[in-house]
Amino acid sequence: MSERQLRIFDSPEDLARAAAGLFAALAADAIARRGRFAVALAGGSTPKRLYEMLADGPYVANIDWPHMEIFWNDERAVPPDHPESNYKMAWDALLSRVPVDRARVHRMPGEATDADQAALDYQRRIARVFGVDLDGPPPIFDLILLGIGEDGHTASLFPYTAAIEETCRWVVANRVAQKNTHRLTMTLPILNRAAQVVFLVTGEGKASVVSEILEGPPDALRLPSQAVQPGNGQLHWFLDRSAASRLQARNA
């Protein structure tokens, strides 16, 4: 299992800038070696600033956008033009502003009436893009971006929900009783196969749960973010000083 790499930044802007630099470097390396960069995007306010930065200089000109395969790690049960759509946020902040190949932008159909079928269809799409067996081991993403909620969830793996214990399927429709809805989400089998996983976390509101996740006892059912542990990849936690403010290691 890979070692966790923790970086603390003075501000959310510094964090986004460092994440943009890492994104660009990983994309250049993957495209040089394999001809494409496969990334799963996250929703939320912190990734939004990263996406906005990637759409500006120097990144917009120096990243090989047409050779990216772009997925999402989760989606709400809303259409793609809804204000709460993770797809819409990423499209508005980044994808509409850079020369991506739209055929390589793989939206999660969160609004589908049959959510279980939509999850299976998304898994099928992932398998087709990567050229792997639908029922075999999940493929390896070059980068998966994640955030956390104040309850310790990541993607749409919420505390005490069935998706946390999924061991085979890569994408499921997860019933989230706390929010009286379902969400499509990638599961731990595919998250933990990634070459690089980066958590982006900012704000004092996340400080308490960050300390529990990183320094508390293991309890992945209550704190699903703890279960993201890439077997052969690298795990990065990017925190601003507010989010890191309750870490004992930082204050020692």
Residue tagged 């309750």 (tokens): 246
Output the average pLDDT for the chain: 96
pLDDT band at 155 (very low <50, low <70, confident <90, very high): very high
Tokens 């000083």 -> residue: 241
Q: How far apart are CA 118 and CA 99, in angstroms?
A: 27
Which residues, other chains included, contact 155 with Cβ-Cβ below 8 Å and sequence gap of 6+? 42, 73, 74, 146, 185, 186, 191
C-alpha to C-alpha distance for 213 and 154, rounded to whole angstroms: 11
Mean pLDDT over residues 23-49, rounded? 96
Residue 250 pLDDT grade (very low, low, confident, very high; cuts 50, 70, 90): low
pLDDT band at 1 (very low <50, low <70, confident <90, very high): low
What is the pLDDT, as a whole number, of residue 142? 98
Q: Is 105 helix (H, G, I), strand (E, B) or coil?
A: strand
- The predicted-structure confidence for 107-116, as pLDDT tens digits, reads as follows 999 999 999 9
Instruction: Provide the token pair at 15.
Output: 């964090």
Instruction: Please give the pLDDT value at position 45.
Output: 84
Q: How confident is the model at residue 17 (pLDDT cuts 50, 70, 90)?
A: very high
Longest Cα separation, the chain: 51
Edge-to-edge strand list for the sheet holding 181-186: 74-75, 181-186, 171-176
pLDDT band at 2 (very low <50, low <70, confident <90, very high): low
Share of the chain above pLDDT 70, in %: 98
- Provide the residue count of the chain: 252
- Cα 176–106–232 angle (5° rounding)? 75
Q: Which residue has the tokens 């020369």?
A: 99
Identify the structural domains of the chain with CATH numbers, from first to last. Answer: 13-152+167-202 (3.40.50.1360)
Is there a contact between 65 and 98 (Cβ–Cβ < 8 Å)? yes
> How far does Cα 246 stand from its chain's mean position?
24
What percent of the chain stands above pLDDT 90? 93
pLDDT of residue 252: 39
Is 92 a residue whose pLDDT tops 60? yes
Confidence band (pLDDT; 50, 70, 90) for 128?
very high
Residue 237 CB neighbours (<10 A): 22
pTM of the model: 0.96
Question: Which has the closest alpha carbon to 82: 47, 125, 111, 50?
Answer: 111
The dihedral sign for the CA sequence 21, 170, 173, 105: positive
Instruction: Give the residue-averaged pLDDT of 113-130.
Output: 98
The edge-to-edge listing of strands for the beta sheet with 68-72 is 4-9, 234-240, 196-201, 143-146, 37-41, 68-72
pLDDT one-digit tens code per residue, 194-225: 999 999 999 999 999 999 999 999 999 999 99
Contact 229, 191 (CB under 8 A): no
CA distances from 208 to 80, 152, 179, 242 (A): 32, 10, 21, 10
- For the segment 41-49, the average pLDDT, to the nearest whole number, is 92
